[in-house]
Structure 1
Amino acid sequence: MSDPTRTSQSTRHATGPAGAAARTPAAAVAPTVRRPLAAAVRALITATALTGLALAALRFPDPPRLLADFTLQANLAAALGFAFSAHRAWTGRRPVSPRLTGALLVFLTLAALTHHLTPPTSTTSPLLATATPLGALADWLLLTAPRTFRLPYAWQWPLYPLLHLSLTTFLSSPPRPLSTTLTIATAACLLPLITIAIDQVRPAPPLHRNRISPTGISPLK
Structure 2
Amino acid sequence: MIELRGVHKSFSGVPVLEGVDLCVDQGEVVCLIGPSGSGKSTLLRCINGLESYSQGDILVSGQRVDRHDKSIHLLRTRVAMVFQRFNLFPHRTALENVMEGPIYVLKKTPQEAREQAQALMEKVGLAHRMNAYPDALSGGQQQRVAIARALAMNPQAILFDEPTSALDPELVGEVLAVMRRLADEGMTMIVVTHEMGFARDVADKVCFLHSGQIVESGPAQTVLSAPQHPRTQDFLRRLLNQTGEVQP
Structure 1 length-normalised TM: 0.30
Work out which of the two has the higher radius of gyration on C-alpha atoms and give 1 or 2.
Answer: 1
Structure number having the greater helix percentage: 1
Question: RCO greater where, 1 or 2, for CA within 8 Å and sep 6 or more?
Answer: 2
Structure number having the greater strand percentage: 2
